[in-house]
Structure 1
Amino acid sequence: MVRLRSGTVGLRFTLLYGVVFLMSGVGLLVLAYLFSGGKVTNVAPVPGQHPPADGSLTEARQRIHDLQAQLAEVNAQHSRQMLVGSLLALVVLAAVSLLAGRALARRVLRPLRLITAATRHISADNLDQRLAVSGPTDEVKDLADTIDGLLERLETSFAAQRGFAANASHELRTPLATIRASLDVAVAKPDAPGQTVALADRLRTQVDRMDRLLDGLLVLARAQHGTLGDSAHVDVAELVAQALADRTTEISAKRLSVTGDLPRGVGTTRGDAALLSRLVENVVDNAVAHNEAGGWVRVATSREGVAVRLVVQTGGGVLDQRDVDRLAQPFQRLGADRTGSEHGAGLGLSIVAAIAAAHGGRLDLRARPHGGLRVSIALPFVALPVKATA
């Protein structure tokens, strides 16, 4: 049976072709039925023959009448057979018309399906791909070439945007270093006024904050470009343990209860060790900085099939999932404006998402039903190479 999806071009083409074939078949059947009919005529006497006697004439007329009745019955039966045969042929023709129409529609729309499938696999991470449809110059090839031109313009625009962030961050590093050096010189003078020292301390705090912001933009641009350094095997559990150990002071200051399930050697992946370390550090920093005093943090790493999963959960108030979904975008935070937050510029989780995507993984953010946030990161599992034995 032909399966059709409503509201598609394929369905409209199928119905159009089917109706055309069906009407053509109906016309042929009607003509065949009309030309197959006949009329019963009286039998005329043969010239040159003498009419029979009176008794014979009555008998002959009776025989003629009987033959005419039999011929009429044969014609009626033939007409009924033709009608039934035509109806059966019409049903078969309707089914064949739909099948033929569906086959022709699929044939006509096949290039469009190929273009659709290829376009679906192109995203912001692989804008360098092209459809490159070959064949005669027709409407379908014009459409494919137009899409290729659009992809080329998008690739150029994305590259310019990412390159601008990286270049601007690099260029701003020099004036920041100059400002920091000038502040240090001003404070180091023996006769520096107290107001100057206090102002220098406040400015140095803002300069450090801007430096962290630029560093985050550089890492984000590098991850979005897919510019990875030397690839190496990395144990995610070891990165998490190191990140927690480096933040012992902050964890103690907030009296956080940290529990971890970090089996070593189970969750190994391969990639840029520096970027993967930054990924883990940002997730841990987010869990510590945006936690309530006396709260808790749960960290676990595991292997799930061909993926390594890192899950970090924190307690707190109930969050709106719509707000949580925005956290993977740059400069987005919960419960704070775009500027003026003492906990950062809102780049942490966007950097995590970009680094995970650059390594073939993904970031998943979920608001916990009873309050708090669940951050889950999946990375491709790559087993450690087996060491050769002597």
Structure 2
Amino acid sequence: MRIRTVRARFTALYGVVFFLSGAVLLAIAGGVALSPTRVSTVAPGPEPAPAGSALTQAQTQIAWLQRQLTEQQAANTRQLLAGAAIALAVMAVVSIVLGRVIAGHVLRPLRTITAATRRITADNLHERLAVPGPADEVKDLADTIDELLERLEDSFAAQRRFVADASHELRTPLTTMRAALDVAMAKPEPAPPRTVVLADRLRTELDEIDRLLEGLLALARAQHGELPDRTTVSLAGLVSESVAARAPDIAARGLTVHEALGGDLPVRGSRALLGRMVENIIDNAIRHNHDRGWIRVATADDGGTGHLVVETGGEILDPRQVAGLARPFRRLGADRTGTGDGTGLGLSIVAAVATAHGGALDLRARPDGGLRVAVSLPLAVAVPA
């Protein structure tokens, strides 16, 4: 069995080192205990030799005593080695347990660093590990990760500022171009038919670019967490308003809308961004649908969390492609999603707004065909007056 964790490797290392050191100690002790003992005898001085029978009895008694002493020494040695072996086995188990405890204590700061690093994502790069303790290798690692997070935060912030600034700067030439086009078309003399067609096409393209810039601005604000106008709004109310405002588009495509709105679902946040989130979900359901299709809109309260679920029918979609729709400029092919127009920012804005409000977006391809868009948001305490 392969040992995968550092703690298990440390435990095995501590146990093996202790066991080997104990085995060497036991071998040395056993070698000393089993080494032959030299017995020196002192020859007695010249004395009268005792009678033959008495000498034989004495020699026999001495030999018996020597055998008894040798057997006793061997028994003591075996008992000593057995006790040492049992002690070694017990201490091996104890060393493994203590090794695991010590390894866990040594690796505890690393587990803390790992858990904290996993919690930090692109949406909370401002958090830091801030590991306390002496200036050792673990603290050096934590400080290095904090420095990396700081650089990442600066990079993400610079990217979001660039998107916002670029979107703002591009609005001025777009406004100038639209004004120049309107002035040219407003001249008293009638314009040629081709010029009128070209002007209409330019207006359409300018409107599309304007929607793209507006989407980039909303995405940048949501990703940057800019919620200056926090208030308590009704999520169900936003859904009803968005569906009612798009009644002409729904009727134009012959779509059937099934609404199941449960309660007001008060949500604390930016009304503008939350409204944009709901509008993008409804627009996505209308745009990427079949003529005479259906839309199912439902809201529910799940123990302090509000859920908005919008489902549409259609062809069976690839779940792998659906999972990437929350990223900017990701769209499915026009042959699979109806008209195929749009900027590709709708669901990415939904995901960013939901995250900025402490919620999440869940996209799933329906088994029977079509798309399921679900947003979960934490509910506020009270509904606005």
TM-score (norm 2): 0.93
Matched AA of 1:144: A
Aligned-residue identity in percent: 57
The aligned counterpart of 2:52 is 54
1:28 aligns with 2:40: no
1:141-156 superposed matches below 5 A: 141-156=139-154
Q: CA deviation at 1:48?
A: 5.7
Question: Aligned equivalents of 1:385 and 1:259: distance in 2?
Answer: 25
Residue pair 2:262, 2:301 contacting (<8 A) in 1 also: no
- Which consecutive unaligned segments of at least 5 residues does structure 1 have? none
Q: In structure 2, what is the Cα distance between the partners aligned to 1:322 and 1:342? A: 19
For residues 48 and 227 of structure 1, the distance between their equivalents in structure 2, rounded to whole angstroms, comes to 116
Contact 1:287 1:313 (C-alpha < 8 Å) held by counterparts: yes
SS at structure 2 position matched to 1:82: helix
Distance 1:231 1:64, change over 3 A: same
Quick one: which of 13, 16, 22 aligns to 1:16? Answer: 13
Tell me the amino acid that sits aligned with residue 211 of structure 2.
R
1:172-215 deviation digits (Å, cap 9, x = unpaired): 11111111111111111121322222211110010011001000
Q: Distance in 2 between matches of 1:262 and 1:47?
A: 122
Q: CA deviation at 1:326?
A: 0.8
Name the SS of the counterpart of 1:166 in structure 2: helix
Alignment of 1:1-390 (within 5 A): 6-37=3-34, 39=37, 41=39, 46-47=44-45, 49-194=47-192, 195-265=194-264, 267-336=265-334, 343-384=341-382
8 Å Cα contact 1:256-1:297 kept in structure 2: yes
Q: Distance in 1 between matches of 2:383 and 2:267?
A: 11
Root mean square deviation of aligned Cα:
2.2
Q: Give the whole-Å Cα distance in 2 for the aligned partners of 1:156 and 1:209.
A: 31
TM-score with structure 1 length normalisation?
0.91
User: Could you tell me whether the CA contact under 8 Å between 1:283 and 1:348 is conserved in 2?
Assistant: yes
Alpha-carbon distance in 2 for matches of 1:332, 1:350: 9
- Residues 264, 102 of structure 1: alpha-carbon distance in 2 compared, 3 angstrom cutoff: closer
| Counterparts in 2 of 1:291 and 1:13: CA distance versus 1, 3 Å | same
* Structure 1 Cα separation of the partners of residues 231 and 377 of structure 2: 14
Report the residue type matching 1:188 in the other structure. A
Instruction: Check conservation: 1:40, 1:72, Cα contact below 8 A.
Output: no
After the TM superposition, which of the residue ranges 242-251 and 351-360 deviates more from structure 2?
A: 242-251
Q: Which amino acid aligns with 1:104?
A: I
Q: Give the distance between the partners of 2:2 and 2:266, measured in 1 at CA.
A: 45
